[in-house]
Structure 1
Amino acid sequence: METAARDAALFEDADFAADDSSLFSDYATPLSQLVSGITWLRPQHICRDPCLFPESRPEAYPKQGILGDCWLLCACNMLLKSQALLEQVMPPRQCVWGERGYRGEFRFRFWHCGVWREVLVDDRLPCTNNTLCFSRCHSTSAFWVALLEKAYAKLHGSYEKLWAGQVCEAVVDLSGGVAERWSLKSAVDTPTGRSLLPELSEEMRKRSYISCCVHSTPAGVSVLGEFHALSVEEWTDVNTTSGGRVRLLRIRNPWGRRSWGGAWNEGGVGWSSLDPSFSQDLLARTQQGEFWVDETEFQQDFDEVTVGYPISDDFHLQSIYTGSSLPHTKHMCGRWVKGHSAGGCRNNSSYGNNPKFWLRVGEAGEVLMTLLQCRWSSQRSYTQLPPGGSKSTAQHTQYQAIALHVWKVDRKHFNLVQTLNAEPCASSHTHAYEREVVVHTHLSAGLHLLVPSTFTQGAEGDFLLRVYATSPVGLSAVKVKAEPQCVGGDWETVMVSGRWTAGSTAGGGRNFPSHGQNPRVPLTVTYDPGGTNVEVTLRQHSSENDLQAIGFHIYKVTDSEAVSMVISGAVQPSVSCVPHAHSQEVSVRCRLPPAGYIILPSTYQPDCSAEYTLTIKHRIHRKALSSQECLGQTIQEISHVSVMSL
């Protein structure tokens, strides 16, 4: 009776109930076979003395159950390498079983779209035959993995939503940092076009979090199947008895068993090439579920790696390329809106409509930029935490193909059209169906233009732009004049300088017979996407005390009339900037149909001498680029399941 009363007083999470609604979303995975076969038990009903963490660290490592979330469990290994990260995700001093104040509730934090979000769960866990059916620790009495998995499932909407995913996404969600995916099969997919292995220094191999995965069944290891993720725990170079040198990698399988039959498994032929003392030492380092492979095996049998950037205890990123600290950070949110700021890739004339950002770099140095598309995976509400960063139900397959391009610019002489038609100084190379794309580069001091884009024009979505650098940086949105009625195309700018000369080209306004003597500036309109497509500005170069009354008229002409057309008071202009004004500058914005035109700038009174500059902006189809963009490889989801004996 006392036990029943205590259990009745424990917290029960109504937002993530202990029933099928928390297990399933659409019954589209093999998990649907468990319908009505699950019981929910608290840890004290599963084992005698439950705890969060066992005394032995190897016993704390995750072990996969019948849920295909090896991608999440590999990222959980990262938390065991950093106490600071572990306490960020799982706040310390929570009341556990047997302690006074225990209520059966646990808090976790996940970094989600720029914000650390707190998720509260009860400790009722899905079981079959009184045993956890999903993830657990190697120690059957430790429950930090099972509880974290439940909180992450709540964040996503259900356990089923964790079936298939990317290690890099889980690494970011558990750290708030940055992770990169590198192919081991195609050099063009790597950041430098070279093999991964030489890229990482010995220090970075120790400090970075590294995972590897197979996309297809490795030769002779049929039990692994396809799309399975594993963790790289150690890299070491050892001397062979023949005087050579071999690089070995210790791999951890989240299934908790080795499942590997290569040359370096226990009893494999590889060990005979080493001094017996070295062999014994290396084999003694392996824990349950771990095995060794050499560099050649690794390259041949694994398809890609995920590398998580190291994070210091004060939460500064460290470059995996140089080891430098990247303490200066800036984050900004943005949105692609159809018909306004969803310009698509550089193949489209509307590319310039995409959101644009100024990045100011204080000193030349290393810069890491990421573009993350924000899609909420659950409609539930969570507590937003200060500060750790700034709704839809989309799955990975609904990600947009995204990319980030960077140009060095001189703000004083900035021309958007010319800039976007030039080669960027850095980019993510191709649009990819990834949640986040990463650009690592070195930038000179000064101003840079950042343009995030989707591959498809009109594709909508929210995004987060992140910048990490070795020197101070500034990040701000490029402010542009609103063009709500105009879609497609880019602005081309032409500047023409001239002079009104008394007795020659100073014809005055339309009230005077000499009006036609004013300078004539040709304008050809070729593109009318709707809305404003022409902007003309006339500026006189006179002192404030000598300003003339200035204005201009735009006349429609044929090609043959551009020079010879007689302009009198009877000829009506298509557009006029009147009345003439005693100001330094006058302008007009208008919509003109495609045709030939001439612009007549004038002073109001004839025979008034002055110099001027006429600036003409008009919409054009964007110039073709020398290289056309193509989509990157489709994202591969890591989802392999281990059949667990219960």
Structure 2
Amino acid sequence: MPILLPGDCWFMSALSAITLNPGLLRRVVPDDQDFTRKYIGIFHFRFWQCGEWVDIVVDDQLPVSYDNQLCFSHSRSENEFWSALLEKAYAKLHGSYGALDAGKCYEATEDLSGGVTERFFFQKEEPPRNLFSIIAKAIQRGSLITCSVPGNIEEENESGLVAGHGYCVTGARQCKVNVPWKSHVDLVRLRNPWGDEVEWKGAWSDEAEEWRLVPEEYKKKMKLTAEADGEFWMTFREFLKNFEGVSITSLNPHSLNKEALLCMNDLAAVVNQIYLHQNNLSVTKRKVWEVVTYDGSWVRNSTAGGAPNNVSK
């Protein structure tokens, strides 16, 4: 799991989101390159720019601090460099590392997928009443979902969330609970790209007492863990309260290779979503947007706009 320094969490939260789709990740980070086979000291990565995949080539030199530590994103494993090299390629695409200081998560998810983003705000406007269902459907479609906590400076608060920090949404479930006054609770699973113990500490966090209300067999189906890995569950209500909004980048056929398309959904997860959202989700195993592309160019005095030559000023 990559680690980052303040300023580029928007990019790393997007990168964390595409790791959920191995096929899409391999589209961005081709797996036909390593440090052994015909190694010549360069790597190439792909980003979606202006309607097509663009190859960016970088060398293997990475900036380090005085104590020989990587200056920007890095992995907990000392032998893993793909995230740092990918960030270098992204910095080259935009002109410099400085250009990556502060940005929007959806900008990076679009560059890493070629998808189209829809944004929902929680603090500035009333979100749709069916937003939980929208997010569940988006997960079914393999969309990249990111969000952020309000604030200007990255600083952990009492709840365990980091102000001014980006996260990605990795799951949404109506979880069954063994209480007489309600049958289920809407939960969302989030991932902090830091990948460490900095996680949500409130209700339904990793070792919260609320999990005692959930049958053991159901917790196994949810693959519930209590590791310091940056991933946690929280209620959808707390999600709306603590985050400023959510961005859903929907994938399209032009941005996916065959492997990525086939890996978009796990059948068991889809069946579970259908069971829990019978009135909102269809039975289709896989869904993507349809895309129509028109190629053309701006031509002076024809399609570029402005006053025609025969019009007096």
TM-score range, shorter chain: 0.7 to 0.9
1:131 and 1:310, CA in 2 relative to 1: closer, same or farther beyond 3 A?
same
1:261 and 1:484, CA in 2 relative to 1: closer, same or farther beyond 3 A?
farther
Which amino acid in the other structure matches residue 170 of structure 1?
A: A
**Unaligned runs of at least 5 residues, structure 2:** 265-280
Distance in 1 between residues matched to 2:295 and 2:226, nearest whole Å: 44
Q: Does 1:123 align with 2:63?
A: no
Deviation for aligned residue 1:297: 0.8
TM-score (norm 2): 0.75
Distance in 2 between residues matched to 1:336 and 1:260, nearest whole Å: 54
Deviation for aligned residue 1:76: 1.4
Matches within 5 A, 1:498-537: 531=313
The C-alpha deviation readout for 1:133-152, integer Å capped at 9, x for no partner, is: 31123433211111000011
Q: Does 1:160 align with 2:98?
A: yes
Deviation for aligned residue 1:85: 2.4
Which of 291, 308, 313 is the aligned partner of 2:257? 313
Deviates more, 1:193-202 or 1:121-130: 193-202
Q: Paired residue for 2:292?
A: 329
Deviation for aligned residue 1:235: 1.5
Distance in 2 between residues matched to 1:261 and 1:333, nearest whole Å: 52
Structure 2 counterpart SS, 1:125:
coil
Which amino acid in the other structure matches residue 87 of structure 1?
A: R
Which of 265, 277, 290 is the aligned partner of 2:205? 265
1:98 and 1:92, CA in 2 relative to 1: closer, same or farther beyond 3 A?
closer
Is contact 2:11–2:108 with CA below 8 Å preserved after alignment?
A: yes
Distance in 2 between residues matched to 1:485 and 1:259, nearest whole Å: 66
Is contact 1:219–1:301 with CA below 8 Å preserved after alignment?
A: no
Distance in 1 between residues matched to 2:68 and 2:157, nearest whole Å: 37
Is contact 1:236–1:249 with CA below 8 Å preserved after alignment?
A: yes
Is contact 1:218–1:301 with CA below 8 Å preserved after alignment?
A: no
Q: Paired residue for 1:82?
A: 21
Matches within 5 A, 1:133-532: 133-187=71-125, 193-202=128-137, 204-205=139-140, 207-216=142-151, 220-221=158-159, 224-225=162-163, 227-243=164-180, 244-257=183-196, 258-275=198-215, 278=218, 282-284=223-225, 288-311=229-252, 312-314=256-258, 324-332=287-295, 483-484=308-309, 486=311, 531=313
Higher RCO (CA-CA < 8 Å; seq separation 6+): 2
The C-alpha deviation readout for 1:244-265, integer Å capped at 9, x for no partner, is: 2012222110122233221122
Is contact 1:187–1:194 with CA below 8 Å preserved after alignment?
A: no
Deviation for aligned residue 1:336: 12
Distance in 2 between residues matched to 1:195 and 1:218, nearest whole Å: 30
Deviates more, 1:242-251 or 1:211-220: 211-220
Distance in 2 between residues matched to 1:286 and 1:236, nearest whole Å: 20
**Unaligned runs of at least 5 residues, structure 1:** 1-60, 341-354, 356-476, 487-529, 532-646
Distance in 2 between residues matched to 1:103 and 1:275, nearest whole Å: 54
Deviation for aligned residue 1:67: 4.4
Structure 2 counterpart SS, 1:91:
coil
1:206 and 1:252, CA in 2 relative to 1: closer, same or farther beyond 3 A?
farther
Greater helix share, structure number: 2
Is contact 1:109–1:119 with CA below 8 Å preserved after alignment?
A: yes
Is contact 1:218–1:302 with CA below 8 Å preserved after alignment?
A: no
Distance in 1 between residues matched to 2:238 and 2:187, nearest whole Å: 9
Is contact 1:205–1:235 with CA below 8 Å preserved after alignment?
A: no
Is contact 1:205–1:234 with CA below 8 Å preserved after alignment?
A: no
1:68 and 1:89, CA in 2 relative to 1: closer, same or farther beyond 3 A?
same
1:97 and 1:117, CA in 2 relative to 1: closer, same or farther beyond 3 A?
same
Deviation for aligned residue 1:82: 3.0
Deviation for aligned residue 1:206: 5.9
Distance in 1 between residues matched to 2:287 and 2:232, nearest whole Å: 32
The C-alpha deviation readout for 1:531-565, integer Å capped at 9, x for no partner, is: 4xxxxxxxxxxxxxxxxxxxxxxxxxxxxxxxxxx
Distance in 1 between residues matched to 2:31 and 2:158, nearest whole Å: 44
Q: Paired residue for 1:438?
A: none
1:333 and 1:231, CA in 2 relative to 1: closer, same or farther beyond 3 A?
farther
TM-score (norm 1): 0.39
Cα root mean square deviation, aligned = 3.5
Distance in 2 between residues matched to 1:266 and 1:86, nearest whole Å: 27
Deviation for aligned residue 1:156: 1.1
Structure 2 counterpart SS, 1:283:
coil
Distance in 1 between residues matched to 2:7 and 2:19, nearest whole Å: 21
Structure 2 counterpart SS, 1:77:
helix
1:481 and 1:213, CA in 2 relative to 1: closer, same or farther beyond 3 A?
closer
The C-alpha deviation readout for 1:425-454, integer Å capped at 9, x for no partner, is: xxxxxxxxxxxxxxxxxxxxxxxxxxxxxx
1:334 and 1:302, CA in 2 relative to 1: closer, same or farther beyond 3 A?
farther
Is contact 2:173–2:187 with CA below 8 Å preserved after alignment?
A: yes
1:485 and 1:72, CA in 2 relative to 1: closer, same or farther beyond 3 A?
farther
Which amino acid in the other structure matches residue 92 of structure 1?
A: D
Which of 37, 44, 60 is the aligned partner of 1:107? 44
1:186 and 1:83, CA in 2 relative to 1: closer, same or farther beyond 3 A?
same
Is contact 1:249–1:292 with CA below 8 Å preserved after alignment?
A: yes
The C-alpha deviation readout for 1:61-84, integer Å capped at 9, x for no partner, is: 3222x2411111122124323343
Deviation for aligned residue 1:229: 0.7
1:200 and 1:251, CA in 2 relative to 1: closer, same or farther beyond 3 A?
closer
Deviation for aligned residue 1:153: 0.6
Deviates more, 1:298-307 or 1:113-122: 113-122
Structure 1 counterpart SS, 2:293:
strand
The C-alpha deviation readout for 1:192-225, integer Å capped at 9, x for no partner, is: x545212244474462211111123897337612
Q: Paired residue for 2:273?
A: none
Deviation for aligned residue 1:287: 6.2
Which amino acid in the other structure matches residue 215 of structure 1?
A: P
Report the identity percentage. Answer: 33
Distance in 1 between residues matched to 2:51 and 2:92, nearest whole Å: 18
Q: Paired residue for 2:276?
A: none
Structure 2 counterpart SS, 1:236:
strand
Structure 2 counterpart SS, 1:330:
coil
Is contact 2:136–2:171 with CA below 8 Å preserved after alignment?
A: no
Q: Paired residue for 1:5?
A: none
Is contact 1:212–1:230 with CA below 8 Å preserved after alignment?
A: yes
Which amino acid in the other structure matches residue 85 of structure 1?
A: L
1:274 and 1:206, CA in 2 relative to 1: closer, same or farther beyond 3 A?
farther
Distance in 1 between residues matched to 2:147 and 2:189, nearest whole Å: 11
1:132 and 1:326, CA in 2 relative to 1: closer, same or farther beyond 3 A?
same
Structure 2 counterpart SS, 1:240:
strand
